[in-house]
Amino acid sequence: MFWTLLLALILLLLLQAQLLVCLHELRASLTSVTSATPSGTSNASTLQRLPGAIIIGVRKGGTRALLEMLNLHPDVEVAKNEIHYFNLDENFRKGLDWYRAQMPVTLPGQLTVEKTPGYFTAPPAPKRIWATNPAVKLLLIVRDPAERLVSDYTQVLHNRIHQNKPYQPLEELLLFQGHINPKYKALQRSFYYQHLARCCRRRRRFWSFHLR
């Protein structure tokens, strides 16, 4: 028991160190990021600014925990809800002013962070993100892909049971005529290499936190 607690403490300290490095680099990039703020506004005022960093995934990978830990820093303000601006066409058509209006109010020098795990697996999201703000930083947190799949299924199962909706066993969703069903969405979300290949075509840098 003692060694388990000690190992957990060491892992938490390592994660804290990674987060501090991440925040330092994010703050260093604020000069270029805040250039996306509307022109003609005062630097001394509080504004709703475009995010300087976006947590893009993965679903069921610990993105909420990462967002809450970043939000503990006084120089970070986070969007409370998942906005789904870059992955849902109906939201993207609402335009950049609508997107900015979903952000928290920040002081000069503070960093805005948004979290929408759906961006990582959405084909149009990377191009839209870079076009909106080439200086934005993307944060990606992953876990064992098999564990992530089971966690994904468990959440959907819980919701369907709570809503009195029918559900299928996991093995029926994973298998089709005795073979792996590649169309199962929860399985597709765990094909990290496919989504990373799309996101990295523009040779951008990612911070990747492996928690599990």
Specify binding-site residues for 3'-phosphoadenylyl sulfate. 60-64, 143, 151
- Sequence ranges of the binding site: 60-64, 143, 151
Please, are residues 18 and 209 in contact by the beta-carbon 8 Å criterion?
Answer: yes
Give φ, ψ of 76 to 5 degrees.
-120, 135
Tokens of 195: 């989504």
Residues labelled catalytic: 60
